[in-house]
Amino acid sequence: MPASFARRATHERRPWPQPARPLHSDAMSESPSPARPITPAPRSRARMLELVFPKDTNYLGTAFGGFVLSLMDKAASVAAVRHARGAVVTARMDGVDFHVPIRVGDAVALDARVVKVGRSSMTIQVDVFRENMASGEQQLATTGFFVFVAVDEHGKPRPVPPLADDEGGAEADDRP
C-alpha cells in the first residue's frame, strides 16, 4: 500500500453513522428510572452470517456441535453487549436443540435477541438457520437460550436496562 494512501486513510476516519433522530425518544423520556433507560429493540438484537468449511466439520461432513455453540455464543454476546451497553459474561447455555445437520458448504445465519431481562442478567434466544448454497433451501437448524450477566470494570454484576415495549411477547415463551 502506498505511504500516501496509508497516511490519507488515517486522517479520513469518520465516526460511526448516527441516526437522524433518537430512537424511541418518547419512551426514553418516560423511563421508569433515570439510571435504567429503556433500550430500543434494535440494540437488543444481533445477526451474523458464517460459511461452514471442512475444518468446522466432523468425518460425516456435518458441523461440530462445539462450532455451532461457539457461533451462537458470539451472536448472543453481541446482542447482550448492545442491550447492556457494556461488558457481559456468559453465565449459562440452556435448551440447545439441534434440529437438522449443518453441512460443509452451507451458509449459517444466526439471529440473536434479548427475550428476558433481570436486574443484571439477560436471556438471549438464538436461532440458527442453515442455507444450502447450491439449492437455496433454508431450514431452522439449531435453537438455544443463553444467559449473560452485565459486569462492571471489577467483574461485579451491574444493572441492565429493561426491554423496550416493542419487544413485547418475547416473554410468552416459558423457557428461561
Residue partners of 69: CB distance under 8 A and separation at least 6: 93, 96, 144
Reported confidence tier of residue 164, pLDDT bands at 50, 70, 90: confident
Per-residue model confidence (pLDDT) at position 18 = 41
**Domain ranges in the chain?**
45-150
Are 89 and 111 in contact, with CB atoms under 8 Å apart? no
Indicate the length of the chain as a whole number: 176
CATH superfamily entry for domain 45-150: Hotdog Thioesterase (3.10.129.10)
Per-residue model confidence (pLDDT) at position 165 = 66
Euclidean distance between CA atoms 115 and 136, whole angstroms: 29
CB atoms within 10 A of CB 127: 16
The pLDDT tens digits of the residues spanning 46-91 come to 999 999 999 999 999 999 999 999 999 999 999 999 999 999 999 9
Per the model's pLDDT, the better-predicted residue between 107 and 168 turns out to be 107
